[in-house]
Structure 1
Amino acid sequence: MNLPAISHVPFGKDAYMIKEDTLVVVLKAAKGDLKKVSLFFGDRVDIHKEVQVNEVPMELTGSDELYDYFECVVKSQLTRICYYFQIEDFFGVNLFYSEYGFTEQMNRQRIEYFQYPYLRREDMIEMPEWTKDMVMYQIFPDSFASEKGGISGQSKRIKERIGADETDGLVEYRSNLGGNIKGIVENLDYIEDLGANCIYINPIFKANSYHKYDTVDYMDIDPCFGTIDDFKTLVKAAHKRGIKIILDGVFNHCGPDFFAFKDVLKKGKESKYVDWFYKLRFPIETKPYPNYEAFAYVASMPKLNTGNPEVLEYCCNVGRFWIRECGIDGWRMDVANEINHEFFREFKKAIRAENPDSFLIGEIWENSENWLLGDQFDSTMNYTFISVCKEFFAEESINVQQFDEKIQKMIHRYPYPVSLAQMNFLDTHDVGRFLSFCHGDERKLELALAFMMCAPGIPSIFYGDEKAMEGLEEWEYRRPMEWDRKTSVFDFYKKWTHIRKGSKALSRGNYRTEYIDNENRVYAFSRQYEDEKKTVIFNASEKQVCLNLGENVNCAPWSVAILE
């Protein structure tokens, strides 16, 4: 028995509440090492000298390249729980595992069991109900639309004087392609028809550059995109169609014309906003690189000191303002992994106080476990998903077994309710278009899209993917929406968004691997929620394949089938 590989840490992904009377417990062990695992649990404050325990068999729910994951659900009226495991390998070795360690006999005292001290409702990770059936559509506003079914393609330059006196000067706002908020309003029917019920919009606040990640004013809409009234119209019109709105919040850094940074540039060390920025050095230098902290050494994006209580209060007020005044449904937070954790704890409290059903997503490209314990983000951008799909569907550089292992590792790294809320995507405004990674092979794009619609997590479509848009460089994958392009890919996207939204199993169910065939590149998994079960079969090859999964299935090349 491989004892060093066996692990369990109470709380987090290994022990978490899904209801006030329901606890999920997970044990990790070396792949293929354990034959049987059982959980024994009892009352942590049992009045008897010996704790009365109940046994719950644990299910092998998945395996990655190194580990097996065993899981069980403990449903009990107990509010204080202690527990231990009984493990058996394929050679007949039988041990008990507790906080104390490994023993041949379970003769330890209850204080040496694993503990879940109290099942408090405040500690339960809960997602807003509306997010559980979400299909997201991401819009880069400059590139999307300026009218119904069209975009002008015309750049804009708008100048405005800001500040209290003439020395503050002019600020210029610009756009490249002419997309605006009215264009989104005019095309809500298109988004609804596609099957999306949530729109995530890249930054729309006053900013110098076309991408709007260098904010000038967090409390106003960039004039290149429209007005606050235009945005209120968008939110109301979207909500009438059952479509939620999520905005992009850029609080790691600001733009050079943000009022606090302008004051620092003007007054130097005497500015009352010096501590609003992270590690300023005087005299301030911008070339060849800034001598102050900034986003990726970009001088025009000075880093905000989010640990400063004044900055925290300002940003929380911004978060509340757009929920209260315009009715937005959530935020996506830019460069979240470079901001202190306490900032997000307070920001989440602020927006939840304004709207208990608001949703908070973080831009974190790596493992986000420390941000996803319920006190900070509800979700993060799942860049692991795109990496694995790129390897399997686009590049064909990994086999089915490796694909399943990577997906299982991705799913098991968080509590399952959190994995269900991860923002999955095939591309975004920051990476190349998936179809380009497929070298234009639309069959591969369609299969990856079908997997995204059937996998745990929130599927997200980047504008134009449904039009088979391509591009590997920034100017390509952010180019104007190709409204006039006719492609069968759109119908495929529409079909699968509606399949996803029509199935509780695909949006909320568990995930179990059912079939792996490396030679023929056939993969099947099932998802079940209550009495509904879907088995999804992928043939990611040029071969015609027949297999039996309770019934005979004839799989055409690069196809997907669902068994009820």
Structure 2
Amino acid sequence: MTKVDTDNTEDITSDKNDVYHAPEWTKHVIWYQIFPERFRNGDPDNDPHREYVYGPEGWSVTSWTADWYAQTDWEKSLGDKFTDSIYHRRYGGDLQGIIDKLDYLQSLGIGGIYLNPIFDAVSLHKYDTSYYHHVDRFFGPDPKGDEEIMEQENPMDPSTWQWTSADRLFLKLIEEVHNRGMYIIIDGVFNHTGTEFWAFRDLVKHQEQSPFKDWYEVKSFRDEDSNIPFDYDGWWGHWSLPEFKEKDGTLIKPVREHIYAITRRWMDPDGDGDPSDGIDGWRLDVPEEIGKDFWREWNALVRDINPEAYTVGEIWTTKSKEWVSEDLFTAAMNYPFAKIVQSYMIDEDLTASEFLHELKKVRQKLPSEATMVMQNLMDSHDTPRLASMIVNPGREYNENGRPEHGFDVRKPTTEERRLQKLIALFQYTYIGAPMIFYGTEAGMWGAGDPDDRKPMVWPEFDYEPEKKHPLNKERTPDDNNFDNDLFSWYQRLGEIRNEHLAFQTGDFQPLNTDDNRNILAFARFLNLEKFGIVVINKSEEPQSIRIEIAPFELNETAVLKNCLTGRRVDLDKNEIELKLPPVSGAILMPEKQ
């Protein structure tokens, strides 16, 4: 048993950077990540058409409730493999669908929404931007009219920019979100564009004569006489994602100025100095691939527009310590957290004490306020689903997460769902901001891209069972409908976190670890009287657990109650004792009688 030691400054977070500031609101939200094309089709009249997505003869929008691995006739015309056609699919998700489901998100306790890219782009994922200053035409109500507006503008001149119907619908979404006391951030993809980006199209056409010849990392211009092709750097070798040129640790001035212009546009749409009608921040794609000088200048602009804006970098490693600071990002997507949780909870590569020690090492590298606002995710659009990580233990986080690598695509069992619930319990009570990938709370499962991007499972829809296998193997059909029990669990965790300030801004203190029995306990506390205690039994056996709660104080009329069951816990002087079933946990809070 480990006694609480309030003098142990290594366990309790302390100020390491007095200059760093995290906006107050970011300490109190539960995040929800939405992949717009796959969240909800709220307006079938704006669905993408065949010519725009380069679909084959007979192409049409895919049925929202169909078996994910079943191929239609037009898909079969592209090849026998599931992956031959999957990226040509569209399901018609749009902004109206998100607006329609804001009540659902509120019922889940969500306070902040992170949208994957919404800017105009050809692909389903929208990381191949065509226009930064416009929302994707198929996310709004009038795609054809929006295209006509775009053609009237000079993209280089913000004074010519107009508001499309999709832009205006996005501004309505922002308003609806804010009216509910919620916040919204969007993806900023500033390292690369798509080949349909207006400047790149001019470069392809005019080559060395293009005014945008210095915007991109061009290796060679086209010379037909010498048989030299046009060649350029694409992100990680993908020609569909041409990279902006970087010079002296930043992007060249015209590119910076364009990015700064669109930053102002979406953060202060009216341009009146009041950012309340704009987005509340940004998630930045692959920021490590652009120099820090650019990000310092950009973050300074963001905070000048809105001092309470939140910027979060996609940092996969513990290098987040180099990127989260007073002059760079507010936070990072906490992938190190996810990896450590997987190692302990799923792969069982760590003992309970090693688990807490690894988490402590990540905390110690950050300013104390930053530990409260890191996005503590388990899965995202770039990883297998959490449920499928549990089905496939013993794999490197986000590596080999595909069926062709032996990744099992079946639905989790009841026992595996129990582990998912325990992971969620820890995610919601550990220090930092929990972030849920759309559908994780509804029971969705899936391997890595593209299977992590299935259409959202909604309770009002009846979905076809998953019968097909991507490798044409035999498979037992899996029911693929909304999981009400799992949703209720996430809903309850959200209520607990939102009701108790200790789980939002409280310090973190380990209380008890027992490696042999695979149990652990910790406290989140504001002071010695306002605290919560979390107990986890990761073992496959029921456990009776005693925990010393000194120096936390309970007055004579107070007891500890398990928020998950409503049961009171006996207090024997400075110790509590409770029994936990296998793979389960408890959240204990003081309650006056």
Q: TM-score, normalised to structure 1's length?
A: 0.74
Aligned to 1:542: 540
Deviations 1:180-212 (A, max 9, x none): 000000000000001101110001111011110
- The yes-or-no answer on 1:179 pairing with 2:93 is yes
- The yes-or-no answer on 1:140 pairing with 2:35 is yes
Aligned to 2:499: 502
Q: Unaligned 5+ residue runs, structure 1?
A: 1-56, 63-69, 75-118, 161-172
Give the one of 356, 378, 386 matched to 1:426.
Answer: 378
Task: Please give the alpha-carbon distance, in whole angstroms, between the structure 2 residues aligned to 1:543 and 1:421.
Answer: 34
Aligned to 1:356: 307
Aligned to 2:426: 451
Task: Please give the alpha-carbon distance, in whole angstroms, between the structure 2 residues aligned to 1:71 and 1:237.
Answer: 36
Q: 1:250 to 1:296 in 2, by over 3 A?
A: same
Q: Which segment is superposed worse, 548-557 or 273-282?
A: 273-282
Deviation at 1:427?
0.2
> What secondary structure is seen at the aligned counterpart in 2 of 1:511?
strand
- The yes-or-no answer on 1:551 pairing with 2:576 is yes
- The yes-or-no answer on 1:404 pairing with 2:356 is yes
Task: Please give the alpha-carbon distance, in whole angstroms, between the structure 2 residues aligned to 1:472 and 1:154.
Answer: 26
Q: 1:269 to 1:201 in 2, by over 3 A?
A: same
Aligned length: 438
Is the 2:13–2:507 Cα contact (8 Å) retained in structure 1? no
Is the 1:290–1:298 Cα contact (8 Å) retained in structure 2? no
Deviation at 1:377?
0.3
Q: 1:404 to 1:320 in 2, by over 3 A?
A: same
Give the one of 124, 130, 150 matched to 2:19.
Answer: 124
| Aligned sequence identity (%) | 33
Q: Unaligned 5+ residue runs, structure 2?
A: 1-5, 54-86, 141-165, 270-276, 392-411, 460-481, 548-574
- The yes-or-no answer on 1:332 pairing with 2:283 is yes
Aligned to 1:92: none
Q: 1:195 to 1:447 in 2, by over 3 A?
A: same
Task: Please give the alpha-carbon distance, in whole angstroms, between the structure 1 residues aligned to 2:308 and 2:36.
Answer: 25
Q: 1:71 to 1:435 in 2, by over 3 A?
A: closer
Q: Aligned Cα RMSD in Å? A: 2.6
Is the 1:514–1:524 Cα contact (8 Å) retained in structure 2? yes
Matching residue's letter, 1:130: W
- The yes-or-no answer on 1:437 pairing with 2:389 is yes
**How does 1:177-326 map onto structure 2 within 5 Å?**
177-226=91-140, 227-283=166-222, 291-305=231-245, 306-325=250-269, 326=277
Matching residue's letter, 2:242: P
Aligned to 1:562: 587
> What secondary structure is seen at the aligned counterpart in 1 of 2:579?
strand
Task: Please give the alpha-carbon distance, in whole angstroms, between the structure 2 residues aligned to 1:422 and 1:486.
Answer: 28
- The yes-or-no answer on 1:532 pairing with 2:530 is yes
Q: 1:218 to 1:244 in 2, by over 3 A?
A: same
**How does 1:47-66 map onto structure 2 within 5 Å?**
59-62=8-11
Is the 1:371–1:377 Cα contact (8 Å) retained in structure 2? yes
**How does 1:140-159 map onto structure 2 within 5 Å?**
140-147=35-42, 156-157=49-50, 159=52
Q: 1:193 to 1:544 in 2, by over 3 A?
A: same
> What secondary structure is seen at the aligned counterpart in 1 of 2:172?
helix
Deviation at 1:394?
1.9
Q: 1:402 to 1:280 in 2, by over 3 A?
A: same
Is the 1:153–1:480 Cα contact (8 Å) retained in structure 2? no
> What secondary structure is seen at the aligned counterpart in 2 of 1:432?
coil
Task: Please give the alpha-carbon distance, in whole angstroms, between the structure 2 residues aligned to 1:203 and 1:407.
Answer: 30
> What secondary structure is seen at the aligned counterpart in 2 of 1:456?
coil
**How does 1:11-22 map onto structure 2 within 5 Å?**
none
**How does 1:463-482 map onto structure 2 within 5 Å?**
463-482=438-457
Task: Please give the alpha-carbon distance, in whole angstroms, between the structure 1 residues aligned to 2:258 and 2:435.
Answer: 30
Matching residue's letter, 2:329: F
- The yes-or-no answer on 1:460 pairing with 2:442 is no
Task: Please give the alpha-carbon distance, in whole angstroms, between the structure 2 residues aligned to 1:538 and 1:358.
Answer: 35
> What secondary structure is seen at the aligned counterpart in 2 of 1:420?
helix
Task: Please give the alpha-carbon distance, in whole angstroms, between the structure 2 residues aligned to 1:553 and 1:196.
Answer: 31
Indicate the structure whose relative CO is greater, using CA pairs within 8 Å and at least 6 residues apart. 2
Task: Please give the alpha-carbon distance, in whole angstroms, between the structure 1 residues aligned to 2:441 and 2:202.
Answer: 45
Task: Please give the alpha-carbon distance, in whole angstroms, between the structure 1 residues aligned to 2:243 and 2:88.
Answer: 22
